[in-house]
Chains A and B, each alone.
Chain A
Amino acid sequence: MLTIATGNKAVAAAVKEVRPEVIAAYPITPQTEIVEQIAEYVTSGELDSRYIPVESEHSAMAACIGASITGARTFTATSSHGLAYMHEMVNWAAGARLPIVMANVNRALGPGWNVWAEHTDSFQERDTGWLQVYVSTVQEAYDTALMAFRIAEHKDVLLPVMVNLDGFVLSHSMQSLETVTPGDFVPPLHLPHAIDVTNPAGYGTLTGPDEHFKFRWEIEQAMRKSVRVIADTERDFAERFGRQYGVAEEYRYEDADVVVIAMGTLGKEAEVAVDLLRNEGVKAGSLRVRWLRPFPELDLSGRDIVVIDRDYSFGFGGVLAHSLMAKSRIEPYSVIAGLGGQEVTFDDIAGFVRDRTPGSETWFGVKGNV
């Protein structure tokens, strides 16, 4: 069905299609619309789920964990401080190999209070063993949320997946949305280690160094295998529903001499900057990185690269820029921009390309920046 929806409502609509048995969530700006919409679906009977209105995000993830280990499909949503508060259980979910799907509406962390878009909240969770994907349109939020359940629950993965969308900019933007009937695109969940009272087992018991090490290695193996599962899932999605995104979405990339790399909505806005630069005769292209974990292996050799980070690791640098430096052996122009919802236009992005100084970092709009 073709309709129009906000990013938040698109996520809720996708969740309705896959019918999780248990949903536990706590409201936080700008995620609220997701939980309100789901509560509405459950109340009206459109969605036959147990909705647990928990008293905190820590409990939201704990409740998802408790439900998931019985073999139930689970979903939660949060943002910013909620995600930070949940951090302990975010680790637990991945360590317990539970295919929980969570929407995170990217928002800056305080102080001071700031409700606008920034990727630092979810980037801080990057080492927890969750798969992480970042979307740029309402349609992509919907499609990716559907795919997230299938990827998380795949027998070769069995890791949680976080679907990230920019706060307000995307969560509250209304765009066209084509909803689908997923059918068997997301098959029923079979959790091999689900609790079985007829075959009792201890979960998460005291674990020595050797076993702990082995479990960590298994998470990494699953993370590596997820690369193929993501590709297969995308391919099947494209065959059934006609849309495909890739681990990183290319735009006028093939013959580009200079490439802008960004994530989320800034990655979409960068496409407009690319058109602007092409009109000026600059052979520009863009690459919108979707998956932060597993991080893509990209061949970026022989081009100038401008990386926009909507995040920062203090005392280190932009996380996306440094990840690409390590993985793709490039020396980019690293631009830190859009923190706390800072306005970054396609004109600004074109400016980054024109003014690029490979190998250096700049903080957009900050006077006297390094």
Chain B
Amino acid sequence: MTEIPKEEYILKCTSACAGCPSSLILRYVLKAAGPDTVLVVPACCTSVIQGIYPNTALNVPVYNVAFAAAAACASGMSEAFRKAGKKTSVIVYAGDGGTVDIGIQALSGAFERETDFLYICYDNEAYGNTGMQRSGSTPVGARTTTTPGGKTHAKKDIDAIVAAHNPSYLATACAAYPQDLFKKVGKALSLRGSKFIHVLAPCPPGWRFSSEMTVEMGKLAVKSGIWILYERESGKVTINGPSKAAMIKPVPLEDYLSGQGRFKGISQKAIDALKSQAEQRAKHLQKEAEGIC
């Protein structure tokens, strides 16, 4: 087992909901990053979780910035630190809306310029901070306040979009696998250039499951194969252990869906679509991992 530092950078006074995956993820991100770190946070749940001025629950500097601006702000910050000869890690910590929707232009620009930073998208598959409206990252069939009948479009494949920028490092992670996340953040920060980690964040109030089930829901996402843990380094794909196991013997997707109120009454057509999307993604990643494509 990897030794996880005892130091806490997220203090016990957050305004997070019970069972919040975002603060759980951030806890391990910061343990891996250490104190010489600045977080750049666009509008998202973490804007609220860190507390109300003049208090802050975070023990590293946090620069809150406008919704669409995180990656660009981090670009300027990273360049200024490097110009001053400082190695300070610049980490964007953004939700899915701020990443796949309104922030995608700045994200693309920063990666194209090979900005030396780590971009972490914690993905609860909707605009959680404003009460669960659909985002580009909401999966098909999921009910949100703006898709009361279930979303009719597929989840945007942000990983493929980011991969097209040839980042130094790209990985997926999940709130239910903190050791794996810790290792990936450490690896990302050891590399120069633009790094991206996409973390699934099962959200109790948003997905409508009880707050002690966050970790369980994350495990089901991985075990059912709807969320695949992998890394992409200099073009080479490695599928991580839990997902390798899931590819051999997955748990039924229905086990994952049935525990969430957002999928209540989901049509068979939407379930089939989710399954086929998951299968295709798995096949493609397996081929890439085997060096076939």
Contacts and interface: CB of A to CB of B under 8 A. Distances in A.
A–B: direct contact at CB < 8 Å: yes
A67 interface: yes
Given A21-B84, A50-B83, A207-B52, A66 B65 contact: yes
Contacts of B72: 24, 54, 56, 58-60, 62-63, 66
Interface string B63-88: 11110111111111111111110001
A197 B36 contact: yes
Contacts of B50: 202, 205-206
B53 A55 contact: no
Nearest to A64: B76
Interface stretch (B103-111, B118-126, B191-199): B103-111
Interface stretch (B54-62, B139-147, B203-211, B239-247): B54-62
Interface in A245-296: none
Contact of A55 (B65, B78, B112): B112
Contact of A22 (B35, B40, B59, B83): B83
A65 B76 contact: yes
Nearest to B63: A203
Given A197-B60, A206-B53, A72 B105 contact: no
A70 B77 contact: yes
Contacts of B109: 54-56, 59
B63 A59 contact: no
B67 to A, nearest CB: 8
B51 interface: yes
Given A22-B79, A50-B79, A206-B48, A55 B106 contact: yes
Interface residues of A, number: 42
B73 A195 contact: no
B75 A52 contact: yes
Contact of A72 (B40, B48, B75, B80): B80
A264 to B, nearest CB: 30
Interface in A190-218: 195-198, 200-208, 211
A88 interface: yes
A204 B77 contact: no
Contact of B76 (A68, A200, A208, A211): A68
Contact of A70 (B36, B54, B84): B84
A68 B84 CA distance: 12
Contact of A206 (B37, B52, B82): B52
Given A55-B109, A88-B69, 10 more contacts: A21-B83, A49-B83, A52-B75, A54-B109, A54-B113, A56-B105, A70-B81, A197-B36, A200-B56, A201-B61
